[in-house]
Amino acid sequence: MTDEFTFDDVAVVMGTYNEEQAIGAVLADIDRVTDGRAEVVCVDGSDDRTPEIARKMGATVIEQEPQGYGVAVREAVLTPDRPVVVTTDCDDTYPMEMLPEFLERINDGDDVVSGDRLARGADAMPTLNRYGNHAFALLASLLMGRRVHDTTTGMRAYRRELLHDITWTENTGLSAELLIRPLMRGYDVTEVGIPYRERAGETKLDPFHGGAAIAASIVTVCLEERLR
């Protein structure tokens, strides 16, 4: 029998950029759900009290000039030594109570478990973002030849090795890249429906510029993987 991973083997990581309204709730949820056993890593670019709150609550804080979502999250996913790495946003939108299910699926053999917000309607998501996210998933599905439903979700679990075996190039589009490259290389990737809550605090994403960057990333990454 292979040893099963427990929360002692899990790191929950996130980019944090002026999230003082949300970080307390996010870290408290992780602590409660994992019984304080998951390591927490925040790659922080804030000029508010976010890093101070994070440190007080036991997280490892890596300081970094704000350079966009993907620059922070790439550093965050590559930092932990633990074999299972879970990403989330630090805005209290994602259901930390589903961490046990994500871990269970990794233990069942999945390499990537991707939280699909659209499966359950994502009523809390702004309408424009919801349509955009459906469109991104459709675009990626067409280019990959395999149906996916949420390419831009912030909540996923990954086996650590694959994060180091693949070179990550995207910034705003990193979330899509983190799904597409493993999938097109034959890793076991599954989507699991998750509820999605309204954001605490202000968005860090401009929907138009951000949306264009994500679409460009999807096309670039799918073509690169096809030509590999």
Ligand X SMILES: Nc1nc2c(ncn2[C@@H]2O[C@H](COP(=O)(O)OP(=O)(O)OP(=O)(O)O)[C@@H](O)[C@H]2O)c(=O)[nH]1
Tell me the window of 88-96, 104-112, 134-142, 219-227 that interacts with ligand X (CB under 6 A): 88-96
Binding mask 30-69 for ligand X (x = CB under 6 A): -------------xxx------------------x-xxxx
Any contact of residue 196 with ligand X (CB under 6 A)?
A: no
Any contact of residue 92 with Mg ion (CB under 5 A)?
A: no
| Token pair recorded at residue 25 | 């709730």
Residues near 80 by Cβ (< 8 Å), separated by ≥ 6? Answer: 11, 13, 39, 41, 160
Q: Please name the helix (run of DSSP H) or strand (run of DSSP E) that holds residue 63, with its range, or none.
A: strand 60-63
Binding residue count for ligand X, defined by CB under 6 A? 24
Of residues 148-177, which lie at the interface with ligand X (CB under 6 A)?
154
**What is the edge-to-edge ordering of all strands in the sheet holding 156-159?**
60-63, 39-44, 10-16, 84-87, 156-159, 112-116, 189-193
Q: From the list 91, 116, 150, 191, which residue makes contact with Mg ion (rule: CB under 5 A)?
A: 91
Instruction: Give the nearest distance from C-beta 13 to ligand X in angstroms.
Output: 11
Q: Which does 80 bind (CB under 5 to 8 A by kind): Mg ion, ligand X, none?
A: none
Whose tokens are 């949820």? That residue is 29
Name the H helices within the chain.
23-33, 50-56, 69-78, 99-107, 127-144, 160-165, 174-184, 207-226
Binding site for Mg ion (CB under 5 A): 89, 91
Binding site for ligand X (CB under 6 A): 14-17, 19, 43-45, 64, 66-69, 72, 89-91, 93, 129, 154, 199, 203-205
